[in-house]
């Protein structure tokens, strides 16, 4: 079994410009895969649990690699309990 240390937790801070871009993408008539790709380019991915736009990045340092997971605030709060 893999022994994970405590993760490094970072907030994802979006600029006003990035927030506006995401809102514009979500309201657009693009197909959902295209929307996902554009949003992924801005925030790096989606919530590990629910697939929403993430607010937190968790980085687990392991032997020679770093595991990165992203969570929205709701899923992060639930996972901490």
Higher pLDDT, 6 or 76: 76
**What does the block give as tokens for 78?**
């639930």
pTM for the predicted model, two decimal places: 0.80
Which helix H or strand E contains 33, and what residues bound it? helix 32-43
> pLDDT by residue (tens digit) across 33-79?
999 999 999 999 999 999 999 999 999 988 889 999 999 999 999 87
């Amino acid at each position: 079994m893999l022994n994970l240390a405590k993760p490094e937790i970072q907030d994802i801070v979006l600029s006003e410009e990035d927030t506006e871009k995401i809102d514009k993408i979500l309201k657009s008539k693009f197909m959902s895969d295209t929307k996902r790709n554009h949003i992924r380019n801005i925030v790096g991915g989606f919530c590990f649990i629910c697939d929403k736009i993430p607010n937190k990045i968790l980085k687990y340092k392991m032997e020679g690699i770093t595991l990165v997971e992203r969570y929205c605030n709701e899923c992060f709060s639930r996972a901490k309990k």
